[in-house]
Amino acid sequence: MSRELASSFSPADIEASLYKQWVAAGYFRANSASTKPPFTIVIPPPNVTGSLHIGHALDHTLQDTLTRMKRMKGFEALWLPGMDHAGIATQNVVEKQLSAQGISRHDLGREDFVKKVWEWKSDSGGAILDQMRRLGDSVDWSREAFTMNSNLSTAVLTIFKKLHDQDLIYRAERIINWCPRCLTALSDIEVDYHDDSGEFVQVRYGEGDIQITVATTRAETMLGDGAVAVHPDDKRYKHLIGKKVLLPLANRYIPIIADELVEMDFGTGAVKVTAAHDPNDFEMAVRHNVAFVVIMNEHGVMDGSGTRFDGMDRFDARKAVVEALRDEGRIMDEKRPYVHAVGHCSRCDITLEPRLSKQWFVKVAPLAKAAGDAVRDGRVKIEPEELAPRYFDWIDNMHDWCISRQLWWGHRIPVWYGPNGESVVLGPGESPPAGYNQDPDVLDTWFSSALWPFSTLGWPAESDDLKKFYPTSVLVTGYDILFFWVARMMMFGLFAMDGVQPFHTIALHGLVRDQFGKKMSKSKGNVVDPIEFMDKYGADALRFTLARGANPGKDQALAEDWIAGSRNFATKLWNATRFAMINGASIDGDLPPLDSLNAIDKWILSRLSETISEVDSLLEQYEFARACELMYHFAWDDLCDWYLELSKESFASKDSANTKRVLGFVLDQLFRLMHPIMPFITEVMWTTLTGQESLVIAAWPIGHPEHIDKKSEKLIVEIQEIITDVRRFRNDQGIKTSQKIPARFIAPERINDYADAMAFVLRLELGTITPSAHCEIGAVKVEFDLTRSIDVAAERARLEKDLATAQKDRQTAEVKLNNQGFIAKASENVVVEIRERLEKTTADIARITAQLQKLQNP
């Protein structure tokens, strides 16, 4: 194995081949027969129609980081990949292709259409899978799953029957969200509400003594009114309750009813009740036995009202109805535009229509109760905790779930109807009686993805995978699909697996936003492409950027500059490693005994151990951003800026065996620590450094308590202060970095031991000199022979600034110590700390003042 790195790091050259090697070596394959403890993550299945967007890149980076870390920690780590068949989305894609050829799915027929979709899937579906390889996802490809595969379909049939047998699935006529374009029912969560500019009109119903004015945003539905409702306590209308009022245009008489659902303060306090076209009205109608009048067909076209408006599109009808009412003098008030939230199809964005329709539902109450309790009693933890109330709020108030869809692509509802209206639910492998026909509808896609944590592991079979890897360890996903998917997995998981929760922890992350924190959207044109970023900066840079921005449950802003910054960080590490290896960094043999090391070596080992322990604990708590921050500063500041600089003198002149070994150790451990976040570059650097097989299967680093050395840390802080102050002096005096200055240290022995190292960093030539200037840092004096007089003004400015700082610091310390309350009540160590601060600043002030005086009267 070559033990030298190329002069520059080129991600594009190595990433793809490294990934192939990892897969070929089988590192990502989990073994259900293993005796190691399991660690399982199932991937939130992307849509088969989807491609990798920046949100996936974040989600996958976090999951991969956890999986890789656990694998290194000795767990049998399984990250299970797969895709969702995405009913409506996929059907839409294929239908669009067909319509380009002038064919509709009905021309093909159901069987051929479904065949077409499968063909589409094998030709162009799953583009995202290759993009996951780019990102470095360490998923177990041998277990790749798809919600429409036969084993997952078996799971669907099994649970449908089980739910049905326990009366948790029923068929009923209800108001559901209907998409007049996709021609299917939608569940509540497939509805996107956004503000539309509509109208709000008040219409006078009735004649003579019996008149009442109602307010509505959907005037055309008045043709289907079955009643007018008022609040029972509303004095304005009390006398009208129970009377019948004339419904204009339709020329029918409808009752005036009283119901507490009506808000007295809203509009006129009287509302029209259109039982077949509004969910709230539906409820009232059931309570009061109001007639259901259907006036619109599945395409959103007026139909069945028996008026001249039949045949008009719903929006044309709205205008026409208002016009007709105006002609009759029945419009009492109009607000236009009236901006209000309107439901749209989450797939095609068309305005939805509430529609009375016979559909299949899951009775969620008992399931949701169990799903809420699992979190309430701590069996499932939501991270961050702040998001738990949102979960409860939703799951404790959930409506029954409409699961039937009028589509062809999906799991067909396993219910068969007999010639006389009988019905039978079939489990896997069962056949219907002769003459029975299957329900034409398919199940909501989320029905099958709710089974994902166990259907992918072989359920309902009692497979080895299921035994080994269920329940899964953690579910990592964006808070935006907490309701869509997470809650449903909770319900079905607890139900199907006899109360065993599908995962121990739900770790929620936020959304990726643009550099100004704005939501990314196609219309704003601020959408970024993760593939482009990987092409340009490498997968590691993208991963590091996303992980570094990932604070639990919080959105993150992302700018291309920041990915470039991560690339710079990768380059920095590369160059540092190259330099270290040229100077003989080594992992051969044991670390030298601690007491044989100099303070610089002891310090970096101490810092390394602290960093490892803290990063480990942060990653275990899903605190990716903070973990990255620590790694970044350890690597760049401690290691590159200080340790390597302070060690150069030793490499250049002395026996540096200890430092070479320590440096090798530090790099080895650091690469292990960073590998889960930046797998590619760390793999190349580590295998080159160590000559070993792969970091993917290397052991995770652990902190060494015996390496923690506060004394050395304190000493190095002192040395850093001295170096920084001398650099400031040189800078203020306009002395070039390259110019060597004769100098000497007057310092205590513990500092003086490192005079050579400091001199090397500071470009000082130590020796006997005639000083013409000096710096004082606490008890340390550094004298220089500048062979010219110093810039007095610059030096005075520098000292005066130091003086001001010291004075300010002393003052705040003094104020505290003069406060009797502080002395009496503050904790001992805080008081001691402030006393020390007072002493130090007092000494500093005296020293600086003396220097300033000398400057004036040399």
CA–CA gap between residue 343 and residue 353 (Å, rounded): 8
CA–CA gap between residue 791 and residue 789 (Å, rounded): 7
Max CA distance (Å), the chain: 117
- Rounded to a whole number of angstroms, the minimum distance from the CB of residue 594 to RNA is 25
Cβ atoms within 10 Å of 239's Cβ, excluding its own: 11
Cβ atoms within 10 Å of 809's Cβ, excluding its own: 16
- Rounded to a whole number of angstroms, the minimum distance from the CB of residue 763 to RNA is 6
- Rounded to a whole number of angstroms, the minimum distance from the CB of residue 765 to RNA is 13
Closest CA to 408 of 386, 438, 388, 383: 438
Q: Which is nearer to RNA, 119 or 386 (CB)?
A: 386
- For tokens 């599908």, the residue is 502
- Rounded to a whole number of angstroms, the minimum distance from the CB of residue 242 to RNA is 28
- Rounded to a whole number of angstroms, the minimum distance from the CB of residue 560 to RNA is 10
Q: Which is nearer to RNA, 339 or 702 (CB)?
A: 339
Q: Which is nearer to RNA, 88 or 698 (CB)?
A: 88
Please name the helix (run of DSSP H) or strand (run of DSSP E) that holds residue 253, with its range, or none. strand 252-258
Three-class DSSP category at 405: strand
CA–CA gap between residue 680 and residue 15 (Å, rounded): 6
Residue 381, classified by CB atoms within 10 Å of its CB into exposed (0-12), middle (13-18) or buried (19+), is: middle
Closest CA to 318 of 211, 227, 203: 203
Q: Which is nearer to RNA, 244 or 363 (CB)?
A: 363
Q: Which is nearer to RNA, 120 or 392 (CB)?
A: 392
Q: Which is nearer to RNA, 582 or 699 (CB)?
A: 582
Query: Do 363 and 486 contact (CB within 8 A), yes or no?
Result: no
- Rounded to a whole number of angstroms, the minimum distance from the CB of residue 387 to RNA is 8
Residue 476, amino acid: V
Q: Which is nearer to RNA, 291 or 644 (CB)?
A: 644
The set of residues, in sequence order, having a beta carbon less than 8 Å from that of 816 and lying 6+ positions away, is: 822, 826, 834
- Our measurement of the distance from residue 551's CA atom to the centroid of its chain's CA atoms, rounded to an integer in Å, reads 9
Query: Do 558 and 549 contact (CB within 8 A), yes or no?
Result: yes
Q: Which is nearer to RNA, 34 or 731 (CB)?
A: 731
Query: Do 713 and 651 contact (CB within 8 A), yes or no?
Result: no
Q: How many CA atoms lie within 13 A of 565 on its CB side?
A: 12
- Rounded to a whole number of angstroms, the minimum distance from the CB of residue 487 to RNA is 11
- Rounded to a whole number of angstroms, the minimum distance from the CB of residue 840 to RNA is 8
CA–CA gap between residue 277 and residue 261 (Å, rounded): 17
- Rounded to a whole number of angstroms, the minimum distance from the CB of residue 745 to RNA is 18
Q: Which is nearer to RNA, 72 or 403 (CB)?
A: 403
Query: Do 783 and 771 contact (CB within 8 A), yes or no?
Result: yes
- Rounded to a whole number of angstroms, the minimum distance from the CB of residue 796 to RNA is 15
Q: Which is nearer to RNA, 292 or 394 (CB)?
A: 394
CA–CA gap between residue 796 and residue 246 (Å, rounded): 95
Strands 764-766 and 741-746: parallel
Q: Which is nearer to RNA, 273 or 425 (CB)?
A: 273
CA–CA gap between residue 246 and residue 256 (Å, rounded): 10
Q: Which is nearer to RNA, 397 or 857 (CB)?
A: 397
Closest CA to 143 of 17, 29, 19: 29
* Residue 429 DSSP code: T
- Rounded to a whole number of angstroms, the minimum distance from the CB of residue 538 to RNA is 9
- Rounded to a whole number of angstroms, the minimum distance from the CB of residue 338 to RNA is 14
